[in-house]
Structure 1
Amino acid sequence: MKYNRKPEGTTSLQKRKLKTKPLILLIGILLAFNIFWLVGWLIPDKPKQTDEEVASVAGKPITREQWMSAMEKEVGRETLLDLVNEKVMAVAAEQYGIDVSEKEVDLEIALIRSVDGRSHSGQDEEGMRKKIRSNLILEKVLTKDIVVKDNAVKKQYDENTALYNILTAYRTAIIVVPTKADAEQTIEELSKGSSFDVLAKERSTDLASASLGGDIGYINDSTDSIDKAIVETVANANEGMTSGVIALSDGTYAVTHVSEVVKGQSFKFKEVKDHIKREIALEQLPQTVSPEAFWKEFDAKWFYGK
């Protein structure tokens, strides 16, 4: 019997063809994937629907466009103004070689809290630090060429030492209600896990703090703008402590919550020397200057025009 023997070259060629098939398939898959990716990249993302319903009242919708427009009118200008001013002051610091350390910001916060604890109520820590940093840069730019004698600085310190001996401060929130029964009910709901912030907004009769979730800022033993019963209750409180029923001088009742305790501290002359020097120098300026005065110098522009 005869067998037809295939040439060796033909067999080797077939083997090579068989081995290359998976490779060709892989290349084809990768090429198809790249084409799909390119097409997806070229097609722009679908914009959000401005007529999307975000709420409704009696079946009548409130659209995303209405919501965003209302927010822009309410807080848009002020928010953008703060952002632009922060950027302007950052550029000014770089231009004039001005540095603001974290220690300087800490000092300003401590001094502000000791004088007016409510000045930053409802404001987050990061936002407060940014504003203080920008203000410090502004003050340093304005006073960099004003000469203040050391003896004047020392005299200012000696005459106001009480300002630099800061008492322990308590970040406090309150819920004020008409009756003792209301206060007791509030405490019961808090004990079951209800949010202090939410209850303050829902039922506190102190409207100024209610809108901030009850926050009245930092208070201490010398605070005279808050009912003494509240000051005495939070004194020596620990962080996270919620009070019992507090009877107020006007016949109403309150419940307090301490979210933060800032320990008191005393600042030596060398620690506040630069701060006092800036204060004296600022008093010599003919008028108050805001960051907007530097917009033209650093080519600042914004959506609202001039």
Structure 2
Amino acid sequence: MKSTREYDNGQTKKRLKTKPVLIIMSILLVGNLLWFMAWLIPNNTSKVNDAEKVASIAGKIISKEQWMASMESIYGKEVLLDMVNAEVMEAAAKEYKIKVTDAEVDLELALIRSTQESASLQSYDEEVMRKEIRSRLILEKVLAKDIVIEDEAIKSFYDDNKNLYNTATSYRTSVIFISTEAEANEVVKELENGSSFEGLARERSADASSASLGGDIGYVSDGNDSVDAALVSAVQSTDTGKWSKTIALGDGRFAVAMVKSIFEGQSFSYEDVKDHIRRELALDQLPQSVTQEAFWKEFDADWVYSE
């Protein structure tokens, strides 16, 4: 059995630091898909043949039934796949007596928020994220359960990479990007007069990507090289639920930022993260990645898309 000292420490460090970003990118997609799932589930209080109108164009009606059928054809397979995988992992947890605590999920979330790349990741539902993290942790614990990693190796990695486990305070932020200072000042006045930040972002922000999400740009914190320093500074001095004054950005644009929530920075001790490190180093010993689908046969999983 190889010890941690024999690993390429640089590659392992990079994997541990960037893995949460890959997770969150997949979760963003999952979160959006799950939103549509609610519409794909039949409403038992409605009639089966109910042709409720959801839109009309030049007199032509689009029914709710047509709408749901279209969404199912586009998103149905992906949404059902996530649902099946989640249930398969719950069955695996029961079979192998695997437990995932809220503290473990909280740790993963904190590591995700602390990554520099997370600043460029946009809106997602945190509850969906927590469920996805739980499912992933079950999978990883099942895969790593028979791999032995010595405590000395784990402690050595922790001592060499403590910076990975000291997370900065992060701010869930929405931003309206504006081309001119005068227009940015107008946005501030509209907000003071009761206008919706989300609505103004969709209507007036010069950044199409965040505008479509009501201005949401994800988490901002010290060390986010992809976020303008002036924006970071403004966010740090803005209270939750409030917006900043006009911010002059380094690229010549202007912005108004709103802080949606604040997550205080944390310093995780060796005891806090030793199981996390043990699991990650154990997974490094696997010859290839394994997904939830590998457990379908064991737990008799089947679905309508089976060939």
- TM-score over 0.5 for the pair: yes
Match of 2:17 in 1: none
Match of 1:21 in 2: none
Q: What CA deviation, in whole Å up to 9, does each residue of 1:72-99 have, x standing for no partner?
A: 2333222222211111111110010000
Q: What CA deviation, in whole Å up to 9, does each residue of 1:263-288 have, x standing for no partner?
A: 11111111100000111111111111
Partner Cα separation in structure 2 for residue 120 and residue 209 of structure 1: 10
Instruction: Give, as a single letter, the amino acid of the residue that structure 1 aligns with 2:47.
Output: P
Partner Cα separation in structure 1 for residue 301 and residue 120 of structure 2: 28
Q: What CA deviation, in whole Å up to 9, does each residue of 1:194-245 have, x standing for no partner?
A: 2222222222222222222211111111111112221121124321120111
Partner Cα separation in structure 1 for residue 196 and residue 211 of structure 2: 13
Partner Cα separation in structure 1 for residue 230 and residue 104 of structure 2: 34
Match of 1:283 in 2: 284
| 1:107/1:45 CA distance change after superposition, 3 Å | closer
Partner Cα separation in structure 2 for residue 46 and residue 147 of structure 1: 55
Partner Cα separation in structure 2 for residue 147 and residue 81 of structure 1: 32
Match of 1:187 in 2: 188
Q: Which runs of 5+ in 2 are unaligned?
A: 1-43
Say which structure, 1 or 2, has more relative contact order (CA 8 Å, 6+ apart). Answer: 2
| 1:119/1:228 CA distance change after superposition, 3 Å | closer
Aligned residues: 263
- Does the CA-based 8 Å contact 1:173-1:213 persist in structure 2? yes
Match of 2:101 in 1: 101
Match of 1:208 in 2: 209
| 1:302/1:109 CA distance change after superposition, 3 Å | same
Larger radius of gyration: 1
Deviation of 1:149 after TM superposition, in Å, equals 1.1
> Is 1:77 matched with 2:77?
yes
Q: Secondary structure at the match of 1:198?
A: helix
Segment drifting more, 285-294 vs 112-121: 112-121
> Is 1:241 matched with 2:242?
yes
Match of 2:58 in 1: 58
- Does the CA-based 8 Å contact 2:120-2:217 persist in structure 1? no
User: CA RMSD of the aligned region, Å?
Assistant: 1.9
Q: What CA deviation, in whole Å up to 9, does each residue of 1:152-191 have, x standing for no partner?
A: 1111111111111111111111111222222222222222
Deviation of 1:100 after TM superposition, in Å, equals 0.5
| 1:122/1:182 CA distance change after superposition, 3 Å | same
Segment drifting more, 47-56 vs 296-305: 47-56
Match of 1:293 in 2: 294
User: Following superposition of structure 1 onto structure 2, how do residues 1-306 of structure 1 map, counting pairs within 5 Å?
Assistant: 47-115=47-115, 116-118=117-119, 121-306=122-307
Partner Cα separation in structure 2 for residue 253 and residue 103 of structure 1: 39
Partner Cα separation in structure 2 for residue 111 and residue 279 of structure 1: 13
- Does the CA-based 8 Å contact 1:221-1:235 persist in structure 2? no
Q: Secondary structure at the match of 2:226?
A: coil
Partner Cα separation in structure 2 for residue 98 and residue 119 of structure 1: 34
Identity of aligned residues (%): 55
Partner Cα separation in structure 2 for residue 305 and residue 192 of structure 1: 55
Partner Cα separation in structure 1 for residue 118 and residue 79 of structure 2: 23
Instruction: Give, as a single letter, the amino acid of the residue that structure 2 aligns with 1:105.
Output: V
| 1:46/1:228 CA distance change after superposition, 3 Å | closer
Q: Secondary structure at the match of 1:151?
A: helix
Q: Which runs of 5+ in 1 are unaligned?
A: 1-43
- Does the CA-based 8 Å contact 2:238-2:258 persist in structure 1? no
Instruction: Give, as a single letter, the amino acid of the residue that structure 1 aligns with 2:303.
Output: W
- Does the CA-based 8 Å contact 1:165-1:266 persist in structure 2? yes
Match of 1:35 in 2: none
Instruction: Give, as a single letter, the amino acid of the residue that structure 1 aligns with 2:252.
Output: G
Deviation of 1:117 after TM superposition, in Å, equals 2.8
| 1:177/1:50 CA distance change after superposition, 3 Å | farther
